Amino acid sequence: MKLTVIIPVYNEVKTIHEIVQRVKATGLVDEILAVDDGSTDGSRDVLAKLNDSGTVKVIYHASNQGKGKAVRTGIQNASGDLILIQDADLEYDPREYPVLLRPIQEGIADVVYGSRFLGAGRRPILFWNMVANKILTLVTNILYNNILTDMETCYKLFRREVVQDMTLHAHGFEFEPEFTAKILKRKVRIYEVPISFNPRDYSEGKKIKTKDAFIAMWTLIKYRFVD
C-alpha cells in the first residue's frame, strides 16, 4: 500500500526541513505533501528547496486559511492508499510510523490514532492543555459511545476510501473533532496505539489556543446531530 504523509505548514521555518528529513528517513513513505498555509516567516523558501519531482511535493495557499483547510487540501491531492497527518513541528516522531501502520497491515483497522495517553514516553509540560484534551476526549466518548483516549492527536492514519465520500468543512483545529465525529458515526474500524510525545510550549511556537477548545467542543456537539 502506498503511503502519503500530509504536512500542514504555517510559519515553521525552524523545523520544516528537519521534519521532512525525518519523514523521508523512515523509508516507509511514498509521497510527502507539504501544504504551506500562507507562511510569512521564510517557510516557503525552505519548502521551495525541498520540492522535487520525487517524494516531496509542495502546495501553496495564497493566504492563511487554517490547519484544517491545509489538511483538506492535502487529502484532495493525495495519491496514496493510506494517508497520515504529520505536524510540521517536532512534537510527533515519524519513527512511530511502523506502530501506526501495523493495525492496518494486520487487517484489524481502517483508521489508526496515535495516542499520547497510553503510556509511551512524553515531555511533561502544559498541564492545562492535557486537561482540555482529556475533557474533549471524554465528551467524544459520551456523545459517540466510544472509549478513545486521545481524540485530539495529530497522528491520524486512514485508508483513502474512508474519506473519499466524506465532506469535511473544518478550516482550523476543529478538523480533529469533525473527522473523529464522522468516522465514529460511520462505525469505521478504529484502533489506538501508544506514541511518544515531545510537546513545545508557547514560547517555542505552539499555536493552539484556549478558544480552539471551545470550538472543538461545539464541533463535537454539532456533528453528533448533523452530517
For residue 136, the SS3 value is helix
d(C-alpha 160, C-alpha 141), whole Å: 24
Pick from 20, 25, 21: nearest CA to 35: 20
- For residue 191, give the DSSP letter: E
pLDDT for position 6:
98
Question: Phi and psi of 135, rounded to 5°?
Answer: -65, -45
Instruction: Estimate the share of the chain in helix, then strand, then coil, as percent rounded to the nearest 5.
Output: 40, 20, 40
> What domains are defined for the chain?
3-225 (3.90.550.10)
> What is the pairing mode between strands 156-159 and 82-85?
antiparallel
Find out whether 183 and 162 touch, Cβ atoms under 8 Å: yes
pLDDT the model gives residue 53: 65
Report pLDDT for 56. Answer: 95
Q: What is the pLDDT along the chain (227 residues), one digit of tens a residue?
A: 999 999 999 999 999 999 999 999 999 999 999 999 999 999 999 999 998 768 999 999 999 999 999 999 999 999 999 999 999 999 999 999 999 999 999 999 999 999 999 988 877 777 888 899 999 999 999 999 999 999 999 999 999 999 999 999 999 989 999 999 999 999 999 999 999 998 877 766 677 778 889 999 999 999 999 87
What is the reported pLDDT for 227?
A: 78
Strands 31-37 and 3-9: parallel
As given in the structure block, the three cell numbers for residue 202 are: 508557547
The answer for 107, left when phi > 0, alpha when psi is -120 to 50, beta otherwise, is left
Of the CA atoms within 13 Å of residue 61, those in its CB half-sphere come to 25
Q: For residues 7 and 88, is the Cβ–Cβ distance under 8 A?
A: yes
